[in-house]
A and B are shown apart, each in its own frame.
Chain A
């Protein structure tokens, strides 16, 4: 089954990639790390990156479901 996954980027990561979001079509079960690789073929995932699915933190090996929103961002600096 073809799934559509929205990918979002924030802060310095958004600046360095040059995009705030991607729409990735995938076939079968994929992980967060594989979503990164599909959306950013020529760019290694930064070591300190944080990932979320549907606004909850997840490990990069977590699997992604159809319709999920996956987000990647650098360490947070609020407060």
Chain B
């Protein structure tokens, strides 16, 4: 299922409600992969206080449906749920949810990744950031989802 939401949503609640309503694959799924994208309060070295997410109504749904159908051709899936916010968004609020259900984890992991990367590359959404200094700017491109972050904040887990 594809949902475009102008309102704040709780991704964990969405997953639970969707899973509980899906009677035809109850008992069949052994793997659920959930990705949640959340708005940061920083980008490109600047403090960001909010953003506006514009989209192309109709094309967005069409592209997302195509992305999910392609994933279902490439992997053995039971179901998928994609929820994406539009409109005014504040830091700490979820932007996107991609959840996939499969019998086995390999399909769930890889299909979830494929759907998310395709969404980033072709789903027609655009972010305009509001900066702490009062300015506004359009985000010009998405970063490569396969790049490693240069910082590691989980130092407590390092030797």
A contact residues vs B (CB 8 Å cutoff): 8, 10-12, 15, 52, 55-57, 71, 73-79
Interface residue B140 (Cβ < 8 Å from any Cβ of A): yes
Q: How far is the CB of A52 from chain B (nearest CB, A)?
A: 6
Q: Which residues of B contact A74 (CB under 8 A)?
A: 126, 138, 140
When chains A and B are docked, how far (Å) is the Cα of A71 from the Cα of B56? 9
Residues of B contacting A: mostly: mixed
Q: How far is the CB of A56 from chain B (nearest CB, A)?
A: 7
* Given A10-B54, A12-B138, residue A73 in contact with residue B126 (CB < 8 A): yes
* Given A78-B53, A78-B127, residue A57 in contact with residue B122 (CB < 8 A): yes
Query: Which of A8, A11, A52, A57 is most buried by chain B, counting CB atoms within 10 A of its CB?
Result: A11
When chains A and B are docked, how far (Å) is the Cα of A56 from the Cα of B62? 8
Contact pick for A55, options B62, B138, B140, CB 8 Å: B62
